[in-house]
């Protein structure tokens, strides 16, 4: 079937269907109260040409051959129709429109129209035509070049995703004679938006983007064809992550059940529940009474569920799981990359090709250290960067200040039930404050990371994305884990002792751990934050775009500007969807932060694996519904793994982030077991101080007497004002969690011995766990042997083909018969011209 394409000098000529898949001209129209520019075009009189407003004024098809003009279709006020034809031209059939620019109708009647026309003229000057597609194909042949004397294969049709990616890049990079980009014109109100059109998404809506498909396999290939490789890899990663959560969840459940089976058999819990005669010292300045240790019986039993001997085993297992998960994912990804013909795709080469398509005079920007580039920045330091970084640091410490002030406030409260549960109230409200802080700081961190990236003046968009990923992840890491690090490793360790407490600003006493131990504080903090992130955050992530879309649709329906033309209705439907930007997909990639939450502090919250598995199922369908039903179409982008032949700074950076999380998880979990858990003190007591050492064959539990051994003694007469404490006249001694000796209350010999054992355990645990990770990484190759063999076979056959052509040029001496080309369809195509499409 013949098609019409634009030829030299603005003439129209017939070409094959494959050749007609080219970049189109830009046409201007106005729909639903907003003006739009759509990428498309066809010659007058061609089979695919049509007056795409069927109700347009007559004479629109009477243009002479070769004339190019601009049609501006303005929808009049009220219900009157048809559309008025201001200019004259012909557009292409509806299925050829890919991209739309939107402007307010008012810009057609004020000086902004001049700037609008200048921008359009620049796009027309670049001519979204076949020549750009031909240039693109010439630039992005395989790195080794075509086989000598070999005939180039007929051009294959350019996928819609490729056309959209090229058009988006050119529109984004185009500048007027005054140096204004599209974003500059948007800020001045000349244009309103730009976006590709949703077309052909029916299959994804029917088979993927719906809650009823939650347990159905994802159509990854169809997602890739519609949204591009980067989105498809994101959903493939989520699916693989959810699949690999199953063994981790089952192991965590098994460890939990083993602890639950000993819920009432723990010697430590028994001693705490029977310790009616042990009085604990008041925790705050305003406590009115001594607390019996037996009152913490329930919390002691709960603590035993996640602070037992199985904690160490599970932490080592999760270190191994994190490594195996990433290594097997690399193998899975290598197969996907081969299947998608991306093995030799080069992101730098694509960036250069797009730059040359946009501007043939583009000069190559060589690699340069970011410091040298930043010295050319007009401002030595970004305007808001330093205040925003200071704000970030301040927000990271706000939880510490809040917990100190809340502890003093709740202790002096008139509510008796609150006075008895001060520590629990502080932990719960502190977790709420931490969640709010995370929500606020996420937006601030994104802004700061972008400013820091712009300050470094990255060479390409991919380099900018990579730098932004690293900086944003670093800021988010401290935002998410600052309070957890404080609770796990600082809380209760710098607050002094009864009678001489460390105070904030000399006024407020620093809080202490829960009476049952700091593991309870850490567990409650993580449980509340994770629950809120899985409920409120997911609800907000779905409801906000849904409500926004419904509100925009309702406003548009009340305006009574519904076009009769199906083309305009489709554009209007796309316009009413929620807007997206170049970092919208990055927001979805940040869901990988949940991987850090479930890995770094897994020793304190092993139940998280069970809940995360169901949360990932919901996350997959939630993101699918947003992308297909509620948001404008994302610009398709390519991505692959930097572990393969070439570097990809986009998704490869995320792989480095996940590997970093795996190493941090080993360190953090080792320190939690050593310093936060009671595992080390229990082991030391068992093999150094327990009654079992005196009677080798005794049936006595080796942990008998551990509770009394782990509590220090404080004389109540050493309080500054003991009379304010209820019942102080009958109490001469109280106990507190620490290893100190009265009367000077300095650290005892046991404290320093325990500290040495803790440090030794951290070093040993980290080395063992990291060795296991390294062995697992070495044992599981990144790329399967089958993939390597297929690629090797393709290279061998191509080398034979080149040698055969070389002998033919020398006169056929020893040419022999032409070697057969490889029969594997997938690996063979990875070196074809199609594999290098942008």
Q: In this predicted structure, what is the pLDDT of residue 538?
A: 85
pLDDT the model gives residue 220 = 94
pLDDT of residue 59: 28
The residue-averaged pLDDT of 608-623 equals 83
Residue located via tokens 């710098």: 494
Vertex 757: Cα angle to 671 and 664 (nearest 5): 20
State mean pLDDT over 581-598: 72
Between 41 and 161, name the one with better pLDDT. Answer: 161
- Assess contact for 827 and 374: CB atoms under 8 A: no
Q: Compute the average pLDDT of residues 382-408.
A: 71
pLDDT at residue 753 in the model: 94
Residue 420, token pair as written in the block: 């008895």
**CA 678 distance to own-chain centroid:** 35
Which of 689, 696, 666, 685 minimizes the C-alpha distance to 763? 666
- Per the CB < 8 A criterion, the answer to whether 480 and 596 are in contact is yes
C-alpha to C-alpha distance for 336 and 85, rounded to whole angstroms: 49
Distance CA 64, CA 43 (A): 10
Residue 5 has pLDDT above 70, yes or no: no
Read off the pLDDT of each residue in 376-395 and give the average, rounded to a whole number: 59
pLDDT tens, residue by residue, 656-666: 888 888 888 88
pLDDT at residue 308, as a whole number:
83
pLDDT band at 652 (very low <50, low <70, confident <90, very high): low
3-state secondary structure (DSSP) of residue 15: strand
Give the residue with greater pLDDT, 126 vs 72: 126
Place of tokens 């990433």: 326
pLDDT at residue 221, as a whole number: 94
| Distance, CA of 31 to CA of 572 (rounded, Å) | 7
**Residue 51: is its pLDDT beyond 60?**
no
The pair of three-digit structure tokens given for residue 602, joined into one six-digit string: 């897994």
Residue range 92-107: mean pLDDT, rounded = 67
Name the residue with higher pLDDT: 837 or 395. Answer: 395
Taking Cα atoms as reference points, which of 599, 665, 670, 606 lies closest to residue 249? 606
How does residue 797 score in pLDDT terms, banded at 50, 70 and 90?
A: confident
Residue 752 confidence (pLDDT): 94
DSSP 83-128: -EESS---EE-GGG--EEEEE-GGGGGSTHHHHHHHHHHHHHHH--
711 near 278, Cβ under 8 Å?
yes
Q: What is the pLDDT of residue 424?
A: 79
Instruction: Decide if 164 contacts 28 (C-beta within 8 A).
Output: no
Least confident window among 375-379, 430-434, 470-474, 689-693: 375-379
Tell me, what's the pLDDT at 14?
A: 29
Would you say 604 and 525 are in contact if contact means Cβ atoms under 8 Å apart? no
Of residues 416 and 299, which shows the higher confidence score? 299
Mean pLDDT of 569-585: 86
Residue with tokens 């809120």: 532
Cα gap 602→256, rounded to integer Å: 13
Mean residue pLDDT across the chain: 74
Q: What is the pLDDT of residue 31?
A: 36
Judged by phi (left if over 0) then psi (alpha if -120 to 50, else beta), residue 400 lies in: alpha
Q: What is the pLDDT of residues 190-248, one digit of tens each?
A: 888 889 989 889 999 999 999 999 889 999 999 999 999 989 988 998 998 889 888 88
Which candidate, 151, 162, 164, places its Cα nearest to that of 198? Answer: 164
Predicted confidence at residue 773, as pLDDT, reads: 81
Tokens of 663: 């190493």
Question: Residue 640 — φ and ψ, nearest 5°?
Answer: -155, -160
- Assess whether pLDDT exceeds 90 at residue 763: yes
Nearest to 237 by CA among 363, 148, 140, 336: 336
Tokens representing residue 815 in the block: 């040419």
- The pLDDT assigned to 374 comes to 54
- pTM of the predicted structure, to 2 decimals: 0.79
- What percent of the chain lies above the pLDDT cut of 90? 13
Mean pLDDT, rounded, for 538-551: 91
13 membership: H or E segment, kind and range: strand 12-16
């Amino acid at each position: 079937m013949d098609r019409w394409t634009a030829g030299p000098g603005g003439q129209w000529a017939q070409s094959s269907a494959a050749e007609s898949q080219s970049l189109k001209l830009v046409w201007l129209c106005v729909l639903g109260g907003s003006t739009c520019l759509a990428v498309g075009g066809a010659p007058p009189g061609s089979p695919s040409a049509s007056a795409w407003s069927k109700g347009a004024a007559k004479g629109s098809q009477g243009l002479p051959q070769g004339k190019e003009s601009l049609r501006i279709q303005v929808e009049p006020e009220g219900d009157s129709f048809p559309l008025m034809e201001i200019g004259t031209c012909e557009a292409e059939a509806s299925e050829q429109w890919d991209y739309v620019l939107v402007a307010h109708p008012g810009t057609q009647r004020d000086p902004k129209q001049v700037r609008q026309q200048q921008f359009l003229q620049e796009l027309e000057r670049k001519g979204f035509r076949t020549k750009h597609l031909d240039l693109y194909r010439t630039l992005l042949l395989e790195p080794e070049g075509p086989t000598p004397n070999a005939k180039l294969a007929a051009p294959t049709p350019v996928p819609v995703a490729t056309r959209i990616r090229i058009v988006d890049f050119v529109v984004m990079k185009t500048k007027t004679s005054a140096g204004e980009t599209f974003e500059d014109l948007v800020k001045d109100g000349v244009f309103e938006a730009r976006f590709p059109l949703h077309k052909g998404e029916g299959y994804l809506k029917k088979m993927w983007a719906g809650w009823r498909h939650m347990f159905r396999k994802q159509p990854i290939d169809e997602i890739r064809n519609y949204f591009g490789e980067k989105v498809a890899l994101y959903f493939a990663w989520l699916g693989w992550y959810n699949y690999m959560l199953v063994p981790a969840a089952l192991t965590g459940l098994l460890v939990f059940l083993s602890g639950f089976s000993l819920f009432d058999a723990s010697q430590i819990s028994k001693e705490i529940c029977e310790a009616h005669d042990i009085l604990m010292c008041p925790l705050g300045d305003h406590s009115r009474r001594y607390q019996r240790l037996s009152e913490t019986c329930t919390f002691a039993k709960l603590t035993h569920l996640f602070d037992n001997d199985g904690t160490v085993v599970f932490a080592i297992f999760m270190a191994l799981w994190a490594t195996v998960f990433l290594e097997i994912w690399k193998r899975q990804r290598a197969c996907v990359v081969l299947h998608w013909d991306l093995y030799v795709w080069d992101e730098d080469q694509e960036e250069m090709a797009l730059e040359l398509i946009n501007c043939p005079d583009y000069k190559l920007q060589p690699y340069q250290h970011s410091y040298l580039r930043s010295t050319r920045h007009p401002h030595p330091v970004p305007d808001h960067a330093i205040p925003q970084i200071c704000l970030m640091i301040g927000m990271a410490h706000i939880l510490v200040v809040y917990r100190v002030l809340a502890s003093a406030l709740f202790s002096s409260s008139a509510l008796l039930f609150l006075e008895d549960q001060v520590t629990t109230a502080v932990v719960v409200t502190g977790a709420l404050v931490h969640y709010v802080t995370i929500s606020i700081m996420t937006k601030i961190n994104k802004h700061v990371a972008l400013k820091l990236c712009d300050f470094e003046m990255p060479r390409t968009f991919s380099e900018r994305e990579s730098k932004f990923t690293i900086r944003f992840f670093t800021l988010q890491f401290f935002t998410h884990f600052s309070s957890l690090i404080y609770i796990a490793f600082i809380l209760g360790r710098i607050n002094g002792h009864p009678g001489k407490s460390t105070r904030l600003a000399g006024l407020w006493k620093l809080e202490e751990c829960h009476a049952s131990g700091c593991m309870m504080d850490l567990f409650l903090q993580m449980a509340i934050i994770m629950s809120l992130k899985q409920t409120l955050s997911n609800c907000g992530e779905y409801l906000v775009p849904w409500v926004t879309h419904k509100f925009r649709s309702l406003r548009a329906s009340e305006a009574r500007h519904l076009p009769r033309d199906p083309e305009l209705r489709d554009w209007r439907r796309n316009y009413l969807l929620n807007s997206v930007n170049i970092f919208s997909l990055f927001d979805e990639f940040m869901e990988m932060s949940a991987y850090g939450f479930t890995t770094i502090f897994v020793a304190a919250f092993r139940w998280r694996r069970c809940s995360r598995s169901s949360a990932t199922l919901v996350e997959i369908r939630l993101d699918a519904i947003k992308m297909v039903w509620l948001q404008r179409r994302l610009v398709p982008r390519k991505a692959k793994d930097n572990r393969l032949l070439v570097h990809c700074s986009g998704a490869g950076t995320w792989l480095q982030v996940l590997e970093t999380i795996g190493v941090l998880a080993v360190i953090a979990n080792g320190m939690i077991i050593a310093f936060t858990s009671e595992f080390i003190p229990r082991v030391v007591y068992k093999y150094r101080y327990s009654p079992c050492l005196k009677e080798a064959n005794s049936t006595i539990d080796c942990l008998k007497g551990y509770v009394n051994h782990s509590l220090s003694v404080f004389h109540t007469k050493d309080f500054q004002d003991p009379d304010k404490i209820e019942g102080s006249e009958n109490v001469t001694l109280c106990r507190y969690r620490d290893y100190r000796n009265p009367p000077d209350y300095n650290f005892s010999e046991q404290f320093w011995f325990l500290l040495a054992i803790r440090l030794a355990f951290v070093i040993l645990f980290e080395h063992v766990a990291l060795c296991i990770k390294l062995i697992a990484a070495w044992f599981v190759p990144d790329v399967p042997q089958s993939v390597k063999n297929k690629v090797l076979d393709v290279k061998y056959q191509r080398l034979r083909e080149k040698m055969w052509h070389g002998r033919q040029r020398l006169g056929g001496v020893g040419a022999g018969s032409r070697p057969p080309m490889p029969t594997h369809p997938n690996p063979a195509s990875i070196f074809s011209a199609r594999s290098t499409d942008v």
